[in-house]
Amino acid sequence: MIMGLLKWAAAIVLGFALGVGSALLVIGFGAQRASDAAGAWTINRLAGSQAADPYTRASVARVGLLALAQSETIYFNLAEDEDGRRLSQACRYELTGGPMPARWWSITLYASDNYLPRNQGDALSIDATSVRADEAGRWAATVSAASPDAENWISSDAAGDGFSLTLRLYNPTDAARAAPSDVPTPRLRTLSCGDST
Amino acid sequence: MKGWLPFLLVVAIVGVAAHAATVIATPRAIMNVAMTRLAENGGPGWRHAPRTTADARNIVRPSPDLAYSACVYDLADGPMTITMAPSEDYWSLSLYAANSDNFFTRNDRAAREGVAITLVRRGAAPPPGATEVVESPSARGVAIQRRLAPTAGAYAIADAARRGDLCEAFAAR
């Protein structure tokens, strides 16, 4: 009798653990599953959308709660360098780009916990109003832990390993909304690793 | 092997149910935590966040270039009035249901003079004298203001613009 009860209790506990565990695993990878590529960046077209499926809704809530729908803002995310390695505070990167098909844009660095890194550099992001660009609108920014000798800087100080960059396009053009994968996203290049310069 | 079939069947049924419940409950649970954090330190109405710094921890992935305001609404006691005055550059008002869906957004291009809405529960009759009526899919949710403010000066201008904004129980005016 007791053995029988224990058997059914074990079945319920095992089923519950498998169900919850598999759900959390799928949600953890959900952002990748529902993403399109734009260069090396990824886009989640359904962020904030009422058309999002339950898995997308759950994964977006975890990494981008209160995101705007794509009609208002397109969010791009970059978490790897040109060789597929996780972005690291120990490396120095160059980010190059040009005019964006939107009314306003910004690029912000987030630590692996999805919050801003706790640093004092006052260089958490660059945006369309502050970036120093040439006459054609082309710009280059350094992503590094220490302040570089460069006009545009995003600080990775205190970001650790596995940080990411988020590009926001506010009021994107009709063409960008229709084909976000064709947006000319900035390019990231690793300059050096293993030092703090 | 045959004796294990009922055991495996129970594992499968409980597993599928737990999997579905977890996926559906996750955004609501995260939203509940966020709404609790946003509603802390004061009564109902707009909470105007200070300029976003590296220490901001209420919501994941905040933009340091925007001035945020948040209002946790609850329509259990009836409709609410939500207003947002315009400011100099980009601004938007967006509404999020309890499951995190962004079901309404209005920006400065669509409403140059600002926004004034009456928020009601989906299917509820709008109150007499209501301005633009917006239906919320859930009784609770969050309204978020975003105002472009990449500098301290721009933040001060945005901050001044939002001080008279309302997020309160509807009263005919």
Query: What does the pLDDT look like over A57-79, one tens digit per residue?
Result: 887 777 778 888 888 999 999 99
Helix (H) or strand (E) holding B133: strand B132-136
For B108, which residue in chain A has the nearest alpha carbon? A171
The superfamily in CATH containing domain A70-193 is: Domain of unknown function DUF1214, C-terminal domain (2.60.120.600)
What is the mean predicted confidence (pLDDT) over A132-156? 93
Please state, rounded to an integer, the average pLDDT across all residues of chain B: 90
Interface contact flag, B14 A16, Cβ < 8 Å: yes
Beta carbons within 10 angstroms of residue A134's beta carbon? 9
**CA–CA gap between residue A74 and residue A165 (Å, rounded):** 14
Q: For chain A, what are the domain ranges? A: 70-193
Model confidence at A33, pLDDT cuts 50, 70, 90, reads: low
The answer to whether residue A32 scores a pLDDT higher than 70 is no
pLDDT at B39: 81
The answer to whether residue B122 scores a pLDDT higher than 80 is yes
pLDDT at A41: 93
pLDDT at B25: 85
Joined together, the tokens standing for residue A12 give 């319920």
pLDDT at A193: 94
Q: For chain B, what are the domain ranges? A: 47-169
Domain B47-169 has CATH 1.10.3720.10: no
Look at A45-49, B29-33, B38-42 and tell me which has the smallest mean pLDDT: A45-49
Joined together, the tokens standing for residue A73 give 């803002």
**A109-119 pLDDT, tens digit each:** 999 998 999 99
Look at A14-23, A80-89, A98-107, B76-85 and tell me which has the smallest mean pLDDT: A14-23
Nearest chain B CA: its distance from A182 CA (Å) = 24
The answer to whether residue A196 scores a pLDDT higher than 50 is no
**Does residue A190 belong to the interface with chain B, where contact is any CB pair within 8 Å?**
no
**B125-161 pLDDT, tens digit each:** 999 988 899 999 999 999 999 999 999 999 999 999 9
Please state, rounded to an integer, the average pLDDT across all residues of chain A: 88
Distances (CA, A) of B88 to A119, B50, B55, B91, B159: 30, 18, 27, 8, 11
The answer to whether residue A122 scores a pLDDT higher than 90 is no
Helix (H) or strand (E) holding B28: helix B5-39
Nearest chain B CA: its distance from A173 CA (Å) = 13
Contact B148, A104 (CB under 8 A): yes
- Mutual angle of helices A2-28 and B5-39, in 10-degree steps: 50
**Does residue A79 belong to the interface with chain B, where contact is any CB pair within 8 Å?**
no
B8: left (phi over 0), alpha (psi -120 to 50) or beta: alpha
Interface contact flag, A115 B94, Cβ < 8 Å: no
Alpha helical stretches, state H, chain A: 2-28, 30-33, 54-64, 174-178
